[in-house]
Amino acid sequence: MRNLAEQIQSCLSDVCCPLWYPGLAELLVAEGQRRLDTSGSGYSTSRHLRAVDPAAVIDVAPENGTYGPHLRIEFMPGPVSAGFLDRGIIPARLDQVNGDLLATLSHSSSLIGIVPSLCDTVGRLALSVHILHVDDPSYDVSFSDPSIPFSVFVSAATGTTAAARMAEAVIHESMHLQLTLIENTVPLVRNSLTKHYSPWKRELRPVSGIVHALYVFRVIDHWLQRLEMNGSLASYARHRRVQIAADVRELDLAKYSDDLTDAGVTLVGRLAPGDMLSVVRR
């Protein structure tokens, strides 16, 4: 039986395997929970950070008759929430979440479920979902932290594309968590000090952050490709795919090879558009 590192290497090199690596998340989460000495049923952000129970939890199911992950919306006690304020992160309180938002989250779950294997991966990784309070709901904010390994934070969106935007945010942060869990076993970056231009941040960033962004947005692009088949959201999906493609085109992948491990080169080679493959091969 192959160990976890061998399973990861196999997924990275298998050109037929979807980029969210169906089945791998179960192994990654099991290893992550082993290191935390906790189980999936016992995990919460509140317990992980302060060893206290959440102030409240709401289980959001997908819309009737559809497939999607059950989103466990966690609300942290005041002292735990206060610890995020110095990062500019403001978790919403229970009294700030209404029925409309919960309905949007239910729709978001159903949208994630349009790619069933991706849905299963997200469901295993995002064990606690937190809603962020933002002043402008038209501006999307999401957040995750490797030190909180199974928690994602997304802002409450409004408007006709709100469910799609929140679904994308949950996928986005879940994929960050997955890649971090992969890196805990199979390092992808050899030199973490070198910085390269990031089209997403519009500044120089460590190569690890750029690889994370490239991975996350390529997964999202595959999900959006399926979302294009949804009549009411097809325009949104096409617009986002054009944005993502333009950003990826700004990457200078030829400069990354020396900063990546062999596994990192393999991953970036899979993530690169076809006509950019040669620049990431050693």
User: CA-CA distance, 166 to 179, in Å (whole number)?
Assistant: 20
Taken in order 17, 128, 225, 64, the sign of the CA dihedral is: positive
| pLDDT of amino acid 42 | 83
Final residue belonging to a domain, choices 186, 218, 247: 186
From first to last of its 282 residues, what are the pLDDT tens digits of the chain? 579 999 999 999 999 999 999 999 999 999 999 888 765 458 999 999 999 999 999 999 999 999 999 999 999 999 999 999 988 899 999 999 999 999 999 999 999 999 999 999 999 999 999 999 988 888 899 999 999 999 999 999 999 999 999 999 999 999 999 999 999 999 999 988 889 999 999 999 999 999 999 999 999 999 999 999 988 999 999 999 999 999 999 998 888 888 999 999 999 999 987 645 444 554
User: Does 163 share its domain with 193?
Assistant: no
For residues 194 and 224, is the Cβ–Cβ distance under 8 A?
A: no
- What's the structural domain count of the chain? 2
Q: How high is the pLDDT of residue 1?
A: 59
Q: How far lies 207's CA from each of 24, 184, 215, in Å?
A: 24, 16, 12
Q: Could you tell me the pTM of the whole model?
A: 0.95
Token pair of 109, please? 């779950």
Q: Do 17 and 139 fall into the same domain?
A: yes
Query: What distance in Å separates the CA atoms of residue 220 and residue 174, rounded to the nearest whole number?
Result: 11
84 and 206 assigned to the same domain: no
According to the model, what pLDDT value does residue 279 have? Answer: 47
Phi, psi of 186, deg, nearest 5: -125, 100
Pairing mode of beta strands 128-132, 148-155: parallel
Picking from 277, 254, 265, 270, the residue whose alpha carbon sits closest to that of residue 188 is: 265
Contact 246, 238 (CB under 8 A): no
Range of the domain at 220: 189-282
Which of 165, 186, 207 finishes a domain? 186
Q: What is the pLDDT of residue 39?
A: 56
Do 128 and 241 belong to one domain? Answer: no
Closest CA to 191 of 145, 256, 147: 256
